[in-house]
Chain A
Amino acid sequence: MANYEFKLPDIGEGVVEGEVVTWHVSVGDSVSEDDPVVDVMTDKATVTIPSPTDGTVVSLNGEVGDMIAVGSVLIEFDTGVAGTTPVNVSENVPMELEVEPEEVAPPEIEEKKAEIEKPSTKPRTPAPEIVPVITKGTGGSILASPAVRKRAREAGINLGSLSGSGPAGRIRHADIDAFVAGGGAVMGAPPSAYSTKRSGVNEVKIVGLRRKISEQMVKSAFSIPHFSYFEEVDVTELEALRQALNSSRSQDQPKLTYLPFIMMALAKIMPEHPECNGHFYDEDGVVHRHEAVHIGIATQTDRGLYVPVVKNVEAMDVWQAASDLIRVSGDARAGTSSLDDLTGSTFTITSLGRDGGLGATPIINHPEMAILGVHKAREKPVVRNGQIVVRRMMNLSSSFDHRVIDGADGAKLIQHLKRMLEHPAMIFM
C-alpha cells in the first residue's frame, strides 16, 4: 500500500513558498477528495488547499507558521483504506493553545478575486479530476436519486446538510420539502413507513476545551448549592428607548441590543447588592466582594463555550459597554481573545435569547456567586389596570450560591433589576 505524497502545488504566479496558517486535518484523519486540508498564506493571498485524493493522513510536514516551498512534500496520504487505525492526537494538544491568539485567514473572497484577475496563471489548486467516476458516490454517504440531486443543486441546497428519511438514509423529495419548509432548520421529513431502524453509536472523545468545560461544570454544579429564581420584565419602554437610540446613533456607534442596558443597570445597582458581585473561595472560607463590576458574557463559539469579560462596566456608558461587548465576544468566536479578556469576571450573564425559551437554570461560573440568564423578549398579552394589553415581555432566569446569598437577597437583586429595566430612565439617573 503506497503512500501518496502531496506536494505544495504551484499556487500562483511567482509564488515560491507559502506559510502554513491552519491545518484542517490531523495525522490519522481520513479525508475525501476536495476536503480542505490546509490554509497556506502567500504574499498575495491565503489559499485553502483541498485534498487531491481520498485517504488517511499519514504525516503533516510543517507546523503552523512554517514556510513551505512550492514542490516540497506537504502531506502524506495513505490512499488504501483497509486496516488503518486512526490515531487521535488531539488529546496531546496543550490546553494553553485555547487562549493564544490565532492567525485568522482572510476571507476566501480575496483568493477568488485573484483568480478572476489572472485566470490563466492562477487555477484552483489542485483541480479535482473526474477520473474514477465509475465508483464515485457508491461508497459515499449521500444517497439520493438523480432527480433529488438535481433539485437540490438548483435550489442551492447542500445534500450533505440534510438527513434522509428513506431506507439507509436515502434523501427523498419529501426531505427537501421539509428542509425548505423549515427554513433549513428541519432535518429530514417524518420517517416513511419503510424507514430502517438506526443502530449506530458514535464515540466522541471529550478532550481539549470540552474536557475543561466539563470539569468546570462539575465543580460549579456540585460544590455550589444553586438557588434559582425566575421573573418576567416588561421591556416595552426599554425597547422604545433602544429603538430611539439606535435610530439616532452615529456611524461609529454600535447597534444596541438589550444586553448593554442590562449590564449598565447591574453595574448601577450592584453597590446595593454587594453579596452578589465577586468570588467565594470556598476552600478558604472567604468571600471577595468586588467593587468593580466585571461582567462575564457566556459566548457560544465553534470550539465550545467561552466566557469573555467586559471589565469595569460601572465606568462605561451604554455605547462603550455595547462596543466592548461586541469586541470581547467577537474575539472569543474568532479565537483571538487575550488572556486578560477571558479572566476576572465577578458576575456572568448568559444570553439565552435568540432561540426563545421560557426559563433555564443557569450554572454559576465558579468561583462567582451569581449568574443571570436573559431570554428572548416578545410581545404578550398582559393585564394592566384590569385591561388586557400587548406588552413586550422578557423573562429572566437567575441562579445564586445559596451558601453565601440568601434567597431573599437574590430575589432583591432581580426585583431591583426589574424596576430599572421597566423604567429605563433610572439606569441613567
Chain B
Amino acid sequence: MAEVRKCQVLIVGAGPGGYVAGIRSGQLGLDTIVVEGDRAGGTCLIRGCIPSKAMIHAAERFESVSMHSSENGHMGITIDSSPQLNMASLVSWKDSIVDRLNKGVESLLKGSGVELIKGWANFTGPKRCIVSSNDGDVEIEAENVIIATGSSHIDLPFMPCDEEFILSSTGALDLDSLPSKVAIVGGGYIGLELGCALSKLGSEVTVIEGMESILGIFDKELRRPLELWMKKHGVTVHTGALARGAEIKGKGASKKVELAYEKEGEVRTLKVDKILVTVGRRPNTKDWGLETMGVRMDQSGRFIRTDRQCRTNVPGVYAIGDVAGEPMLAHKASAQGEMVAEIISGMAREFDKVAIPAIVFTEPEIVSVGLSPDEARERGEEIIVGKFPLAANGRALTLEAEKTGGFVRVVARESDNVILGIQAVGSHVAELHGEFVLALEMGALLEDISGTVHAHPTMAEAFHESVLKTLGHAIHSV
C-alpha cells in the first residue's frame, strides 16, 4: 500500500447528504475527499426519488393518453389507437435522466475541488479508513469525518428479495416488462408511490399492509383522497394483513409467485407476477467498520447518536442523513451536509429547522409541513384549522387536480394566529410546499399569508384561501 492520504474532511457516501457536504466543504476551501462505493448520487438519485419520479411521470402520461383513445375521447381529444407501453424503453429513458444527474453530481464535486474516490471504505479507527477501489487500496487519514452512509431496503427474512419475483424498490424501477399482477407488501410511501404508477400503467395492484391503515404517518383526512383514488382504480388494499411467505409456482415463462398473507386469523394466498417488498429502510451502520470508530448509537440502537450540530460522541466525527435518524429524507440530509461543512470550517451553525417537509408522490400527491391538527393538540396547543377544497379553485379544475377530493389545510395557534402546520392533498400540490415551509420558517402569522397577493389562476390561491378560511372569511367557500 502506498503512502497514507491525508485530508481535512473525509465524507463517506456520495448521496444527497454526502455530496452536498462535499461541495460545500470544497467551496469553503477545505481539502475534501468523498468516498462512494456505488455511483455518486446515492439512493435518492440512482434508485430512489429521481428514478421513481420519472416512472411516476411516465405512468401519468400513459394514463392521460389512454383517456383519449376511447371512442368519445376525454376533453374532446380522440386518438385512434391505444398507447403502447415499452417497459424497456421507459426504463432506459429513466436511466438517461439518472445518468445525467449522476454526471452532474460528479462534475459539481470536481468543480468545487473535491476528490471523489470510488470504492468501499473500511474504517480501522475513528478517522482512518482503507478504501478498496479499482486502482488498488488507498489508506486515508482525515481530520474530520462525515458519515453519510444512508440507508437500505429492509428484506423480509422469510421471503428475501431475488429481484426477479420478489422485488425491492430498486428492482421495481428496473423492470423489463409490465407485470400484469403485482402484490405490494408494505403500504408506506415507497410502496404506494410505485403502486399508483404501476396501476396507471395497467398492472392489477394489491397492497398488503400490517397496520390498520396505509400511510399511517398521515391522518385520516389526508389519506382519504388517496384511498378513494385507489378504490376507483381497482387497487385492492388489505390492512391488518401480514405477509407470511412467498413461493414460486409454475414452469418456464408461466412462472408466477404466490404470496401467503395472514388476515383476520386466516392465511390467504395471492398469485401474482411480482411481489414488491417495501416494509421500510434501515440505516447503513454495518460492514464498513463503524464499530472501530467508537461512535455511540442512539437509544433505539438503530441510528448513530448525534446532537443538534450532527456531532457524534467522537470529536471530529459527524453523522448526517438517514444514518443519523428520522426523518429519512434526502432534503434533511442535504441541509445537514451543508451545515456540517460550515461547522467544520468554523462557522456557528445549528440544525434549528422549524420544519422538514414531507411529500408523498402518490395520486393524488400529499404534502405535510409542521404540525397536523392532532399533533398540535397533543402538544397542548389551542388551535384553529381551516381547510379549502381544491374543487373550489379554478386552476385546480382546469388541471383536473381536484379529482378525489383534494384540499389545503392550515393549522394555526388560536391565541396569536402563528401558523403551526400546513397540509395539502391533490395532483401537483407537491410544488406548493415551498411557500408552506417558508411560512413556518419565517414564523408567519395567518395575517402574513392573507395579506400576500397570490396570482390568479393558480393552485397557490388555495393556500391563500385556506388561510382566509382559518381566519373565518374565505372568499370562494362557505
Q: Is the CB of B418 within 8 A of A143?
A: yes
Q: Which of B285-331 contact A (CB under 8 A)?
A: 294, 296, 298-299, 303, 305-308, 310, 313-315, 324-327
Complex partner residue of B308 from A120, A128, A170, A196, CB under 8 angstroms? A128
Q: Is the CB of A81 within 8 A of B418?
A: no
Q: Which residues of B contact A132 (CB under 8 A)?
A: 326
Q: Which residues of A contact B296 (CB under 8 A)?
A: 123, 127
Interface membership of chain B positions 55-84, coded 1 if the CB is closer than 8 angstroms to chain A and 0 otherwise: 000000000000000000000000000000
Q: Which residues of B contact A124 (CB under 8 A)?
A: 307, 313
**Interface SS, A side:** loop
Known: A119-B314, A127-B313, A129-B325. A156 touches B348 (CB 8 A): yes
Q: Is the CB of A149 within 8 A of B352?
A: yes
CA distance in complex: A185, B441 (Å): 27
Q: Which of A358-376 contact B (CB under 8 A)?
A: none
Q: Is the CB of A120 within 8 A of B294?
A: yes
Q: Which residues of B contact A146 (CB under 8 A)?
A: 441-442
Q: Which residues of B contact A150 (CB under 8 A)?
A: 349
Complex partner residue of A139 from B326, B351, B381, B442, CB under 8 angstroms? B381
Q: Is the CB of B441 within 8 A of A145?
A: yes
Known: A134-B355, A138-B420, A145-B441. A129 touches B306 (CB 8 A): yes
Q: Is B353 on the interface with A (CB-CB < 8 A)?
A: yes
Q: Which residues of B contact A119 (CB under 8 A)?
A: 313-315
CA distance in complex: A167, B447 (Å): 10
Q: How many residues of chain A have a CB within 8 Å of chain B?
A: 37
Q: Which residues of B contact A127 (CB under 8 A)?
A: 296, 305-307, 313
Q: Is B371 on the interface with A (CB-CB < 8 A)?
A: yes
Q: Is the CB of A133 within 8 A of B332?
A: yes
Q: Is the CB of B371 within 8 A of A139?
A: yes
Q: Is B341 on the interface with A (CB-CB < 8 A)?
A: no
Interface-facing stretch out of B161-169, B372-380, B456-464: B372-380
CA distance in complex: A168, B446 (Å): 11
Interface membership of chain A positions 109-120, coded 1 if the CB is closer than 8 angstroms to chain B and 0 otherwise: 000000010011
Known: A80-B378, A129-B306. A138 touches B371 (CB 8 A): yes
Interface membership of chain B positions 259-271, coded 1 if the CB is closer than 8 angstroms to chain A and 0 otherwise: 0000000000000
Known: A146-B441, A168-B443. A137 touches B354 (CB 8 A): yes
Known: A146-B441, A168-B443. A131 touches B305 (CB 8 A): no
Known: A130-B324, A138-B440, A170-B443. A120 touches B314 (CB 8 A): yes
Q: Which residues of A contact B350 (CB under 8 A)?
A: 153
Q: Which residues of B contact A133 (CB under 8 A)?
A: 327, 332, 351, 353, 355-356
CA distance in complex: A144, B352 (Å): 11
Q: Is A135 on the interface with B (CB-CB < 8 A)?
A: yes
CA distance in complex: A184, B294 (Å): 41
Complex partner residue of A82 from B325, B332, B354, B378, CB under 8 angstroms? B378
Q: Is the CB of B358 within 8 A of A134?
A: yes
Q: Is A205 on the interface with B (CB-CB < 8 A)?
A: no
Q: Is the CB of A145 within 8 A of B378?
A: no
Known: A120-B314, A138-B421. A129 touches B379 (CB 8 A): no
Q: Is the CB of B327 within 8 A of A81?
A: no
Complex partner residue of B380 from A81, A137, A144, CB under 8 angstroms? A81
Q: Is A154 on the interface with B (CB-CB < 8 A)?
A: yes
12 further A-B pairs in the complex, CB-CB below 8 A; given A134-B358, A138-B440, A154-B347? A123-B296, A133-B327, A134-B370, A135-B355, A135-B370, A135-B371, A136-B354, A138-B371, A139-B381, A145-B442, A150-B349, A154-B348
Instruction: Name A's B-contacting residues (CB within 8 A).
Output: 80-82, 116, 119-120, 123-124, 126-139, 143-146, 149-150, 153-154, 156, 166-170, 196
Instruction: Name B's A-contacting residues (CB within 8 A).
Output: 126, 294, 296, 298-299, 303, 305-308, 310, 313-315, 324-327, 332, 347-356, 358, 370-371, 375-381, 416-418, 420-421, 440-443, 445, 447-448
**Which A-B residue pairs are the 3 nearest by beta carbons?**
A123-B313, A143-B443, A168-B416
Return 20 A-B CB contacts under 8 Å, by A number.
A80-B378, A81-B378, A81-B379, A82-B377, A119-B313, A120-B126, A123-B296, A123-B305, A128-B307, A130-B325, A135-B355, A137-B352, A138-B355, A139-B420, A144-B443, A150-B349, A153-B352, A156-B348, A166-B443, A168-B445
